[in-house]
Amino acid sequence: MIKHPAYIVEPWRILERELDLDTLAQSESVFALANGHLGLRGNLDEGEPYGLPGTYLNSVYELTPLQYAEAGYGYPEFDQAMINVTNGKLLRLLVDDEPFDIRYGTLRSHERVLDLRAGTLARRAEWTSPAGCPVVVRSTRLVSLTQRAVAAICYEVEAVERPLRAVVQSELVANELVPDPGDDPRVSHRLASPLVGEEHMVTGHGAILVHGTRHSGLRVAAGMSHVIEGPARTAVDAESFPDVGRITIATRLQPGQRLHIVKFLAYGWSSLRSRPALHDQVAAALAEARLSGWDGLAADQRACLDQFWEGADVEVEGDPEVQQAVRFALFHVMQSAARAEQRPIAAKGLTGTGYDGHTFWDTETFVLPVLTYTRPAAAAAALTWRHRTLPSARDHARRLGLAGAAFPWRTIAGDPCSGYWPSSTAAFHIGADIADAVLRYVDATEDEAFERDFGLELLTETARLWRALGQHDAEGRFRIDGVTGPDEYSALADNNVYTNLMAQRNLDAAAATAGRHPEQARRLGITDAEAAAWRDAGAAMYIPYDGRLGVHPQSEGFTMHAPWDFAGTKPDQYPLLLHFHYFDLYRKQVVKQADLVLALHLRGDAFTPEQKARDFAYYEQLTVRDSSLSSCTQAVLAAEVGQLELAHDYLREVALMDLRDLEHNTRDGLHLAALAGIWIALVAGLGGMRAGDGRLCFCPRLPSGITGLAFRLRYRGRLLGVSVTGRTAAYALLSGEPLSVAHHGETFELGPEPVRRAVPEAPRGPRPNQPAGRAPSPRRKAKPPH
């Protein structure tokens, strides 16, 4: 965990003024830069010390065999694991005779700044070598949002007080040594030497390396090029080897004199293209980057972000940590997705190898909602990636004896990669989550072409799965048995309420969407009878209810199970999965992460307000939040049922998840869905935002600790601004045609004139209890240190 205060709280920057080597890996994740195609962890320029060196290309993975103590039919044979590709971030510095290494000598000052508007990571270090030679090093890096293949580093060495001899070795290094990941099942299987050299060459003040993977059949090219400004007697040498490209720049600096280097990086990869084609692609990208120059790239970066923030910014008054966190979150969500372009958005983005770089359901359920309303094209691109993987998902369904498509629980390229089926293969809800993301995107954009060309097929193939997976029972109810819902502390249960409700929406929407695109429906083989069967199943969907307790069981029979012994569970026994056997977790009432409560959010239309309040309170006492995917949803429901202080607590928990490393694994990468959850907790939670059928609804209410909340959204071509203070909400149409909007149930037409409405009092009820020791308490943690 990162000790407070790791990062100085500012509204638009993540600022670090102390370098804590114990949390270096965490800071590398926090300071990661990416554009959805290329990702660079925030490693120090000189390469060492490091927590985890990381340079990633979206969808560049290696295959590793999955070994089973007892294998079973249909188990996946191979994992796809994201690999650390050629590192181009390296700029090693020799000061007089000694390597610039902050573990030696004296680091007189240190600063790193992630600038959320500039889209850059800047560093400034004042260091004195063990021999007593002082030097100032400045670097700024960016991963370009406008030139997808390109990253650039502006690096400067300045002599102070006395002259010095400086040698900079700017490198490309493949097959870097990475640390052993240990035993935690959530960590990646980091691969030693995953790349095989195919080509290396020097080109002027640059170099290009081309490598192939051993088993997955991919080829990766990395190139660098430099613009060097220094004293007249600066010497430059270039050399290359299979795993190393090196430009050596030697100079002498007088006090106040600087060596200024701009390093351009370009990356390309392909499963199809030849070595020369990839080589040329990288050389061309470098040429374009050089033409733009550092200043051009930096200006484009800021312009791109300005446009993003115009439609995405969230302002929070009264809680500066949450203010910082939500912008940090939006920045990372945006940069993980911006240029993914029909490639997946991984659970950790391109910030680390946690979960092997896999993508899960949380991309659709948590990340895409944010993108849908802030950068809708990125949401469409991510769903188009899902569409591209339909052949694998159909194969998977066939292997399981089902119809339609069964999307994999975790994957990079589309094939299932889970080694434990009860919490993966059986978690069929991912199909409905993808369908829901399609519906949300289409509702938010009216993108009919997408609906016709991609959406309908996704809805159809997932609806077909549900028809094959469920069956009408003797009483006519449509049952879906033996599946696992979002809560990973239960598995293989009948009629999971979340799954059944999401499947119901999926089935209904497939039928309705087919009706809107009759020609495409015919092409997909959808008959009237099939659409009718979807509607039948949806209408008859079985939603169990426990009349004795007056709550919905998470799954059929859940509320009959023994409650977990929370009183007997010690604080250090969380997360429970590392201290208790699945058999015990599965058979008891204990919830890892919002499941029924997620249904209360995403299928709120299926519950009365009274049911929501009762269900929420019931599951609060069972939910331990051993997953990062829970507090945001609990914040949303707490806000909806009027528990605003509790909502604020959950909001703060999710806000500080990565900035404070609350889950103790930020070192392996950021929790992208939890970052998205900060926006969800604010906008859907405190803002009460719900959308559907072309209408935006808000039920804003603020807790006492947040005095103001303003956010912007894109919806059906409009740009809206919503701002809330304690007593008043204001709605403004910043661009686009008038739109129907609801405020606490009252619908009005929002035109050019802003509309103000009073915020009604929240209903009052007792604060729900959480399991002993599991109440959210980040407000206490946030106190300044003594």
By annotation, the residues acting in catalysis are 488
Applying CB under 8 A, the span of 138-146, 469-477, 729-737, 756-764 interacting with a second copy comes to: 469-477
Q: What is the closest distance, in whole angstroms, from the C-beta atom of residue 67 to a second copy in the complex? A: 4
Report DSSP state, residue 666. Answer: G
Q: What is the closest distance, in whole angstroms, from the C-beta atom of residue 458 to a second copy in the complex? A: 22
Q: Which of 3, 11, 20, 68 binds a second copy (CB under 8 A)?
A: 68
**Whole-angstrom distance, CA of residue 754 vs CA of residue 99:** 60
Q: Which of 192, 291, 449, 474 binds a second copy (CB under 8 A)?
A: 474
Q: What is the closest distance, in whole angstroms, from the C-beta atom of residue 293 to a second copy in the complex? A: 48
Tell me the residue type at 613. Answer: A
Q: What is the closest distance, in whole angstroms, from the C-beta atom of residue 493 to a second copy in the complex? A: 9
Task: Please give the size of the binding site for a second copy, defined by CB under 8 A.
Answer: 50
Q: Which of 72, 525, 571, 766 binds a second copy (CB under 8 A)?
A: 72
Applying CB under 8 A, the span of 121-129, 326-334, 394-402, 734-742 interacting with a second copy comes to: 394-402
Cβ nearer to a second copy, comparing 157 with 590: 590
Question: Taking CB under 8 A as the rule, does residue 419 contact a second copy?
Answer: yes
Q: Which of 211, 339, 479, 505 binds a second copy (CB under 8 A)?
A: 479
What are residue 749's DSSP bridge partners? 740
Q: Which of 99, 242, 580, 642 binds a second copy (CB under 8 A)?
A: 580
Cβ nearer to a second copy, comparing 167 with 497: 497
Report the DSSP pairing between strands 588-589 and 562-563: parallel
Report DSSP state, residue 382. Answer: H
Question: Taking CB under 8 A as the rule, does residue 255 contact a second copy?
Answer: no
Written in H, E and C, the secondary structure of 512-560 is: HHHHHCHHHHHHCCCCHHHHHHHHHHHHCECCCCECCCCECCCCCCHHH
By the 10 Å C-beta count (0-12 exposed, 13-18 middle, 19+ buried), 518 is classed as: exposed
**Whole-angstrom distance, CA of residue 772 vs CA of residue 571:** 9
Q: What is the closest distance, in whole angstroms, from the C-beta atom of residue 68 to a second copy in the complex? A: 5
Question: Taking CB under 8 A as the rule, does residue 545 contact a second copy?
Answer: no
Q: What is the closest distance, in whole angstroms, from the C-beta atom of residue 464 to a second copy in the complex? A: 16
Q: Which of 525, 529, 583, 752 binds a second copy (CB under 8 A)?
A: 583
Rg of the chain taking only CA atoms, in angstroms = 27
Applying CB under 8 A, the span of 72-80, 292-300, 674-682, 687-695 interacting with a second copy comes to: 72-80
Question: Taking CB under 8 A as the rule, does residue 70 contact a second copy?
Answer: yes
Q: Which of 100, 421, 498, 698 binds a second copy (CB under 8 A)?
A: 421
Q: List the one residue out of 140, 95, 102 whose CA is nearest residue 119.
A: 140
Q: Which of 5, 10, 15, 75 binds a second copy (CB under 8 A)?
A: 75
CA distances for 416 relative to 352, 365, 369, 594, angstroms: 20, 19, 24, 24
Q: List the one residue out of 143, 222, 135 whose CA is nearest residue 175.
A: 222
Applying CB under 8 A, the span of 174-182, 398-406, 678-686, 721-729 interacting with a second copy comes to: 398-406
Q: Which of 5, 212, 318, 422 binds a second copy (CB under 8 A)?
A: 422
**Whole-angstrom distance, CA of residue 242 vs CA of residue 245:** 8
What are residue 139's DSSP bridge partners? 123, 155
**Whole-angstrom distance, CA of residue 21 vs CA of residue 50:** 8
Tokens of 644: 């605003």
Q: What is the closest distance, in whole angstroms, from the C-beta atom of residue 465 to a second copy in the complex? A: 13
Q: Which of 420, 545, 566, 574 binds a second copy (CB under 8 A)?
A: 420
Question: Taking CB under 8 A as the rule, does residue 399 contact a second copy?
Answer: yes
Q: What is the closest distance, in whole angstroms, from the C-beta atom of residue 494 to a second copy in the complex? A: 6
Question: Taking CB under 8 A as the rule, does residue 473 contact a second copy?
Answer: yes
CA distances for 22 relative to 2, 184, 296, 351, angstroms: 9, 19, 37, 18
Could you check whether the bond before residue 575 is cis, i.e. omega within 30 degrees of 0?
Answer: yes
**Whole-angstrom distance, CA of residue 328 vs CA of residue 455:** 31
Question: Taking CB under 8 A as the rule, does residue 418 contact a second copy?
Answer: yes
What are residue 593's DSSP bridge partners? none
Question: Taking CB under 8 A as the rule, does residue 401 contact a second copy?
Answer: yes
**Whole-angstrom distance, CA of residue 41 vs CA of residue 136:** 23
- Identify whether the C-beta of residue 144 lies closer than 8 Å to the C-beta of residue 301: yes
Question: Taking CB under 8 A as the rule, does residue 621 contact a second copy?
Answer: no
One character per residue 156-185, x = contact with a second copy (rule: CB under 8 A): ---------------------------x-x
Applying CB under 8 A, the span of 51-59, 319-327, 451-459, 583-591 interacting with a second copy comes to: 583-591
End-to-end CA distance of the chain: give it in Å, rounded.
18
For tokens 């060309």, name the residue. Answer: 453
Q: What is the closest distance, in whole angstroms, from the C-beta atom of residue 396 to a second copy in the complex? A: 10
Q: List the one residue out of 635, 640, 636 whose CA is nearest residue 652.
A: 635
Angle between helices 672-680 and 320-337 (to 10 degrees): 130
Q: Which of 275, 561, 779, 781 binds a second copy (CB under 8 A)?
A: 561
Question: Taking CB under 8 A as the rule, does residue 398 contact a second copy?
Answer: no
Tokens of 551: 């709550």
Applying CB under 8 A, the span of 135-143, 169-177, 236-244, 575-583 interacting with a second copy comes to: 575-583
Which residues 176-235 are close enough to bind a second copy by CB under 8 A? 183, 185
Tell me the residue type at 672. Answer: L
Written in H, E and C, the secondary structure of 660-672 is: CCCCCCHHHCCCH
- Identify whether the C-beta of residue 79 lies closer than 8 Å to the C-beta of residue 63: yes
Applying CB under 8 A, the span of 48-56, 298-306, 559-567, 591-599 interacting with a second copy comes to: 559-567
Question: Taking CB under 8 A as the rule, does residue 67 contact a second copy?
Answer: yes
Question: Taking CB under 8 A as the rule, does residue 400 contact a second copy?
Answer: yes
Q: What is the closest distance, in whole angstroms, from the C-beta atom of residue 183 to a second copy in the complex? A: 7
Question: Taking CB under 8 A as the rule, does residue 562 contact a second copy?
Answer: yes
- Identify whether the C-beta of residue 170 lies closer than 8 Å to the C-beta of residue 261: yes
Question: Taking CB under 8 A as the rule, does residue 256 contact a second copy?
Answer: no
Q: What is the closest distance, in whole angstroms, from the C-beta atom of residue 11 to a second copy in the complex? A: 41
**Whole-angstrom distance, CA of residue 424 vs CA of residue 427:** 5
Q: Which of 115, 321, 556, 668 binds a second copy (CB under 8 A)?
A: 556
Applying CB under 8 A, the span of 165-173, 438-446, 556-564, 774-782 interacting with a second copy comes to: 556-564
Cβ nearer to a second copy, comparing 476 with 717: 476
- Identify whether the C-beta of residue 624 lies closer than 8 Å to the C-beta of residue 771: yes
**Whole-angstrom distance, CA of residue 609 vs CA of residue 695:** 20
Question: Taking CB under 8 A as the rule, does residue 393 contact a second copy?
Answer: no
Q: What is the closest distance, in whole angstroms, from the C-beta atom of residue 471 to a second copy in the complex? A: 4
One character per residue 498-537, x = contact with a second copy (rule: CB under 8 A): ----------------------------------------
Question: Taking CB under 8 A as the rule, does residue 591 contact a second copy?
Answer: no
- Identify whether the C-beta of residue 527 lies closer than 8 Å to the C-beta of residue 456: no
Q: List the one residue out of 64, 24, 60, 17 whose CA is nearest residue 39.
A: 60
Report DSSP state, residue 455. Answer: I
**Whole-angstrom distance, CA of residue 32 vs CA of residue 354:** 14
Cβ nearer to a second copy, comparing 476 with 765: 476
CA dihedral 211, 216, 218, 221 (to 10 degrees): -30
What are residue 478's DSSP bridge partners? 472, 541
Question: Taking CB under 8 A as the rule, does residue 581 contact a second copy?
Answer: yes
- Identify whether the C-beta of residue 652 lies closer than 8 Å to the C-beta of residue 782: yes
Cβ nearer to a second copy, comparing 69 with 449: 69
**Whole-angstrom distance, CA of residue 262 vs CA of residue 29:** 24
- Binding residues vs a second copy (CB under 8 A): 66-75, 79, 183, 185, 399-401, 418-422, 425-426, 471, 473-474, 479, 481-483, 491-492, 494, 548, 556-557, 560-562, 577-584, 586-588
